[in-house]
Amino acid sequence: MKPITLVLSVWLAGMCTHAAAAQPYTLDQLLSLALQGNKGVEAAAAGVDAAQAGLTTARAYPNPEVEFTTGRVSARQPGTATGIGQTLSITQRIDLPSQRQLRRELATGTLRSVTAGQEFFVAGLVAQVKRGFYETLRREAEFAAAQEDLVLTQQLYNRAQVRVDVGDAPKYEAIRVAAELLNAQKNNQSALLRVNQAKSFLRQQVGGILPTAFAVDGRLGGTPALEPLGKLREVMLAGNPELTQFRAEVLRARTAVDYERSLRMPSVALKATSSRDPDTRDTQFGVVVSVPLWDRRQGPIDEAAATAMRARSLLEAREFELTQQLDSAYQQFQIAASQVEALESGIVRQAEAALNVAEAAYRYGERGIIDYIDAQRVLRTARNDLIAAQFDLQMAAVEIERLLANSSAGDPS
C-alpha cells in the first residue's frame, strides 16, 4: 500500500507543479482571446463583410449594353455603292425608383440579419467560454477536495495501522481503512482527469491562441445579482440577438414580397442606334419596354409570401421557446441559490463539526473506525454537493446572460 501511495503522491505533485507553472488566465482574458482566436468569429465577421458587399451591389446602377456589328454591303442593282456597313447600338436599362429602393431595403435587411447572427454567435461563444471556465473551476475544486480527502485517509490509515500493530485494534480496521484509501486514490485520479477534460473543452472554445498548458484564475462561489423575472423578459424580448435576427428575416421577407410585386411593372430601357453604309448614315433613338404580358410573376410572389409567413411563425415560436428557457433558467437560479445558502450556512459546517467529533472520539477510543469513515463520507458528499450547487448557480446565470445577451446580467454582486 505504501509504495502505491508514494508513487501516486509523486505523480500528483508533478501534475500540481506543472499546473502551477502554467500561466493563469482570468475570465476576461479568456473571453478576449476567444474573440481573437476562435475561427467561428472570423467566419461570422466574413459573413457580415459579404452582406455589406451585397448592399454595395444593390446600390449599383445597371451597366449599358453596347452592340457593334460590321459586314460588307454588296450591290444588287447597277449604280448602288458597295463597301463596308457598320451598326453601333447602345442600350441603357433604367431602374424604376420603387424597385431600386426595394432592392436596397432587401440588401439592408440581409445585412441586419447577418449582423444579428454574428452577435448571436458571439453571445453563444461567450456562454461556452464561461461554461468551460466555471467547469474548470468546479473540477479543480473537486480535485482539491479529493486531495484533502486522500491526505486525511492516508493519515487515518497510518493511525489504524499503528493501532493494529500494537494490538489496540483488530486487523479489520486496517483492512477497512485500506479499502477507503484505495477509493480515495481512485477519486483523486478521476478528479484530475475531469480537470484535464474541462481544460480541453475550454481551450476548444477559445481556440489555438490559448497555450496547451494554462491555468484559470477565478472563484466559483459568489451569487450573481439578477433583476426580477418580468424585467428580464422585457430585456430579452427587446435585445436577444437571435430574436433580432428573426425579426430582420421577417422584415426582409416582407420586403421581398413587395419587390417581387414591383417586378410586374414594365421595365424600361433607352436605346440609341447608329448605322452606316457606303451611301447613308442612319441614327435612331428609342425606348425599349418589356411588357409583362405572359409572366405576371405569380409564382415568385406566392413563394415570397409563403417565406414571409414562415419567418413570422418561426419568430413567434422562438419568442415562446426563449421565454420558457428564461423562466426555466430563472427557476434553476433560485433553486441553486437556495441550495448554496443551505450548504454553506449549515450542512457543510455541520458535517465538518461531525467529522471533528468523530475523529476525536476515535482518537480516544470512544468510537470505532466505521463512525469516523461515515463522518468523512458525509463531509465529502456535502462538500461535493456545495461545489455542484455553486456551479449550477453560475450556469443558470450564464444561461440568463446568454438569453439577454447582456454582459452585466451575470456579474457577481
Whether the predicted pLDDT of 77 surpasses 80: no
Look at 18 and 264; give whichever has higher pLDDT: 264
Whether the predicted pLDDT of 380 surpasses 70: yes
pLDDT of residue 368: 67
Whether the predicted pLDDT of 411 surpasses 50: no
> Which domain, by its residues, includes 288?
2-404
- 190's enclosing H/E stretch is helix 171-206
Q: What is the pLDDT of residues 91-118, one digit of tens each?
A: 999 988 888 999 999 999 999 999 999 9
Whether the predicted pLDDT of 130 surpasses 90: yes
pLDDT of residue 365: 66
Tally of domains in the chain: 1
The whole-number average pLDDT for the span 205-232 is 87
Instruction: To the nearest 10°, report the CA torsion of 185, 186, 187, 190.
Output: 120
The whole-number average pLDDT for the span 153-159 is 82
In a domain, 312, yes or no: yes
Look at 313 and 382; give whichever has higher pLDDT: 313
Whether the predicted pLDDT of 7 surpasses 80: no
The whole-number average pLDDT for the span 181-203 is 92
Whether the predicted pLDDT of 409 surpasses 50: no
Look at 139 and 370; give whichever has higher pLDDT: 139
pLDDT of residue 193: 95
Whether the predicted pLDDT of 14 surpasses 90: no
The whole-number average pLDDT for the span 153-173 is 76
Whether the predicted pLDDT of 131 surpasses 90: yes
Q: 5 phi and psi, to 5 degrees?
A: -60, -40
Nearest in space to 269 (alpha carbons), one of 31, 20, 62: 62
Nearest in space to 150 (alpha carbons), one of 196, 195, 186: 186
In a domain, 222, yes or no: yes
In a domain, 410, yes or no: no
SS3 81: coil
Q: Identify whether the C-beta of residue 215 lies closer than 8 Å to the C-beta of residue 136.
A: no
In a domain, 411, yes or no: no
Q: Can you give the pTM of this predicted structure?
A: 0.81
In a domain, 409, yes or no: no
In a domain, 78, yes or no: yes
In a domain, 412, yes or no: no
Q: Which CATH number fits the domain that encloses residue 336?
A: 1.20.1600.10
In a domain, 110, yes or no: yes
Q: What is the pLDDT of residues 223-263, one digit of tens each?
A: 677 889 999 999 999 989 999 999 999 999 999 999 999 88
| Range scoring the smallest mean pLDDT among 34-43, 181-190, 322-331, 359-368 | 359-368
Neighbouring C-alpha atoms within 13 Å toward the C-beta of 123: 25
**Confidence class for position 169, pLDDT limits 50, 70, 90:** low
